[in-house]
Amino acid sequence: MNYTETILLGVSSGIVSAFLVWVCVKSWNATFTPWLRKQIYRGVEVQGEWTAVIMHDNDGRDVSEIGDAVETINYVLNIESQYGHVVKGWFSQSYKNSERESQGRYKVTGQIMDGVLMLSLSPSMRSKSSFGTLLMYVAASGGMLDGIFTYKGVKTNTIKSTDITLEKRV
């Protein structure tokens, strides 16, 4: 075997072994680590769909009847996976009044510790520039999330926040 063959064989075997190590690490992180986190975690489970509908009248007051509402805001938080304290999913917000309608959908990543859910929201479409956070406390024996939604407005470029209470959809 000459030097060229030795070098080519060494480089190609190095690439193959690096690829195999990478596949093993990815497989370990995708299967064993989440399984282990789930086995060890003893906190509250928040996986599932959480919703809220907020309706306001002409004066901006909350109303409970849709006939009295001039604007409606729907929030949906879907936590698709929870591995221990790490959560992932999506969040959507839709706004409707007599003049306009708008919707926003976000990817959600975050964690839950001591009954407090901390979520980062990034736009699911790269063309949107809005983002936000949800900081929520698990309430009502795990049936409600109560907290604050802070976000950057798409049109106004200002930081806004609103109190929000989400109920678990059964």
All residues at 6 or more sequence positions from 156 whose CB lies less than 8 Å from its CB, including other chains: none
Structural domain of residue 12, as residue ranges?
1-40
Q: Are residues 81 and 112 in the same domain?
A: yes
Angle, CA of 159, 160 and 162, to the nearest 5°:
155
pLDDT at 139: 92
Q: Are residues 101 and 34 in the same domain?
A: no
Q: Are residues 76 and 6 in the same domain?
A: no
Q: Are residues 109 and 144 in the same domain?
A: yes
| 109 CB-contact burial (10 Å; exposed 0-12 / middle 13-18 / buried 19+) | middle
pTM for the model stands at 0.74
Residue 64 has pLDDT above 70, yes or no: no
pLDDT digits (tens, 9 = 90+) for 2-40: 888 888 888 999 999 999 999 999 998 888 887 887 777
List of long-range contacts for 123-129, beta carbons under 8 Å, 24+ apart: 124/90, 128/104, 128/154, 129/154
Q: Which helix (H) or strand (E) holds 5?
A: helix 3-27
Measured CA to CA, the distance from residue 159 to residue 64 in angstroms comes to 27
- Specify the 3-state DSSP secondary structure of 40: helix
Count how many domains the chain has.
2
pLDDT at 68: 66
Q: Are residues 30 and 114 in the same domain?
A: no
Q: Are residues 62 and 83 in the same domain?
A: yes
Q: Are residues 17 and 91 in the same domain?
A: no
Q: Are residues 59 and 134 in the same domain?
A: yes
Q: Are residues 67 and 138 in the same domain?
A: yes
116 neighbors 135 (Cβ within 8 angstroms): yes
Q: Are residues 132 and 103 in the same domain?
A: yes
Q: Are residues 29 and 54 in the same domain?
A: no
113 neighbors 43 (Cβ within 8 angstroms): yes
Q: For 94-118, what is the mean pLDDT?
A: 89
Q: Are residues 84 and 158 in the same domain?
A: yes
